[in-house]
Amino acid sequence: MKIRHLEVAESIWKDKRIPKETKLIYSYIYTKGFERIITDINIGEIQRVVNIKNKGLRKSLKILEELKYLIYKEYSNGMYTITLN
Confidence of residue 8 (pLDDT cuts 50, 70, 90): low
**Would 52 be classed as within a structural domain?**
yes
pTM of this structure: 0.81
**Would 80 be classed as within a structural domain?**
yes
Strands 79-84 and 38-42: antiparallel
DSSP 15-82: -TTS-HHHHHHHHHHHHHTTT-SEEEEEHHHHHTTS---HHHHHHHHHHHHHTTSEEEEEEETTEEEE
**Would 4 be classed as within a structural domain?**
no
Task: Work out how many domains the chain is built from and give that number.
Answer: 1
Quote the pLDDT of residue 7: 61
**Would 58 be classed as within a structural domain?**
yes
CATH of the domain at 17: 1.10.10
- Asked whether the predicted pLDDT for residue 74 surpasses 60, the reply is yes
What one-letter code names the amino acid at 50?
V
End-to-end CA distance of the chain: 26
Residue 24 domain boundaries: 10-84
- The pLDDT tens digits for 15-24 are 889 998 988 8
**Would 76 be classed as within a structural domain?**
yes
- The pLDDT tens digits for 36-60 are 778 888 999 889 888 999 999 999 9
